[in-house]
Amino acid sequence: MAHILDLIRADHDFIRNILEELAGNPDTRDIRRLTLHRELLGHLHAEEVTLYARLRGAMPEEIGQSIREHGEIRDLLARLDVIPLGDVAWMLTLTELRDRIGAHFAAEEDGIFPRAEHHLSRSELFELSEGFESEKQKMAEFPVV
Ligand SMILES: [Fe+2]
Ligand SMILES: [Fe+2]
């Protein structure tokens, strides 16, 4: 089993790639928008109930801020989900979502991860990865509407 921060980094790269593909390739948008919905919501949820839950006591301000950012990302995704693909507002909203996600992932990778490594032992970080994977799995079982 991998280290949870490696799993999160891999998710971030995967989600950045989906966003890039969505922006650049109109032919695959109908499928990729469903992948984005599933991957992004699974990622946010799994982070909240594993890494964030464990770090909240040690760094309440940073984790509170990160959870607010998750809320903003979920709101933007919900807006994007109801805009028809051909609508000009779709690309504008995708760009906004992409910027928001990019800033959030960077804040995690550069700000939260180094502090997580300070507060948690290596074995705790490995242990958390199991919950992270199973929570993502649970979310993936909900149908996309
Ligand atoms: Fe996050
Ligand atoms: Fe993340």
Band of pLDDT at residue 139, cut at 50, 70 and 90: confident
Question: Is the confidence at residue 51, as pLDDT, over 90?
Answer: yes
Q: Would you give the distance in Å from CA 44 to the centre of its chain?
A: 4
Distance 9 CA to ligand 1 centre (A): 11
Spatial CA neighbour of 140 closest among 50, 47, 43, 9: 43
- 60 in a structural domain: yes
Asked if residue 93 lies in contact with residue 55, where contact means CB atoms within 8 angstroms, the answer is: no
Q: Which ligand is nearest to the CA of 7?
A: 2
**What is the token pair recorded at 77?**
């995704």
Q: Tokens standing for 88?
A: 């000009």
Surrounding ion ligand 2 within 5 Å at CB are: 108
Q: Residue 27 and residue 63: Cα distance in Å, rounded?
A: 38
Confidence of residue 143 (pLDDT cuts 50, 70, 90): low
The identity of residue 46, as a single letter, is A
CA 51 to ligand 2 centroid distance, Å:
10
What is the span of the domain harbouring residue 69? Answer: 4-140
- Does residue 145 lie within any of the structural domains? no
**Number of structural domains in the chain:** 1
How would residue 140 be classed by pLDDT, with cut points 50, 70 and 90? confident
> Distance, CA 94 to ligand 2 centroid (Å)?
18
